[in-house]
Amino acid sequence: MATRKPKANDDNTRLIGYARVSTHEQSLDLQLDALRAEGVHADNLHSEHVSAVSARRPKLELALKDARSGDTFVVWKLDRLGRTVFDLLKKVEDMERRGVKFRSITDVIDTSTAAGKAMFGMLAVMAQFERDQIVERTLAGMKAARERGRLPGKPSKLSKTQWAQAERMLAKKTVAEVAAHFKVTTATVYNRFDAAALEKLRDKR
């Protein structure tokens, strides 16, 4: 006799499902059907049409916030959750800290199992390798530029006084608003203030 596949967590905690496709021309049906077959209740299904390169995924953010300790977050495939290995790992690690388990149907990964945890240990190694490669390429590019007599980067478009003003503004305004005020690109502002610096400034809001 075949063993019946469980349709929910053994401890009756919830399964939170998330599905995504890149365009409105693509169908969510395949993913949604798989999530329902896995045991995700309709009330706990979150889906959206948004590009894989988009940093803003409102429905994913809502689904992650909805997941509570003991719940299991379920996706059809790993790339539905993260844009990069870094992004994926960060989200799963955050779930683990909150007591939320993670399951990917197609990839047969479940962090509630020893095998699933081992798989994510491998992902952590891959993420570190990816980061090391980025740093290595950046340093190599800077060295090549110096050897050609070109220092990396361009002269600052704003004065020290303007940068100080921009820093104060970033505690209250968005990067786009500050960039528009000084008539520079958002990339110029991001080059001056990295993610950690911006986070500290936003904490002051």
Which amino acid does the sequence have at 191?
A: N
Helix/strand/coil (H, E, C) string of 121-140? HHHHHHHHHHHHHHHHHHHH
Relative to beta strand 109-110, strand 72-75 is: unpaired
For residue 19, list its beta bridge partners. Answer: 47
Which amino acid does the sequence have at 33?
A: D
Structure letter (DSSP) for residue 172: T
Give, rounded to a whole angstrom, the gap between the first and last alpha carbons of the chain.
61
Q: How far apart are CA 117 and CA 102, in angstroms?
A: 10
The distance from CA 113 to its chain's CA centroid, rounded to whole angstroms, is 23
Q: Phi, psi (5° rounding) for residue 32?
A: -65, -40
Query: Quick one: 20 exposed, middle or buried, by C-beta within 10 A (0-12, 13-18, 19+)?
Result: buried
Q: How far apart are CA 139 and CA 64, in angstroms?
A: 36
Candidate list 22, 51, 54, 112, residue with the active-site label: 22
47 is catalytic: no
Q: Which residues are catalytic?
A: 22
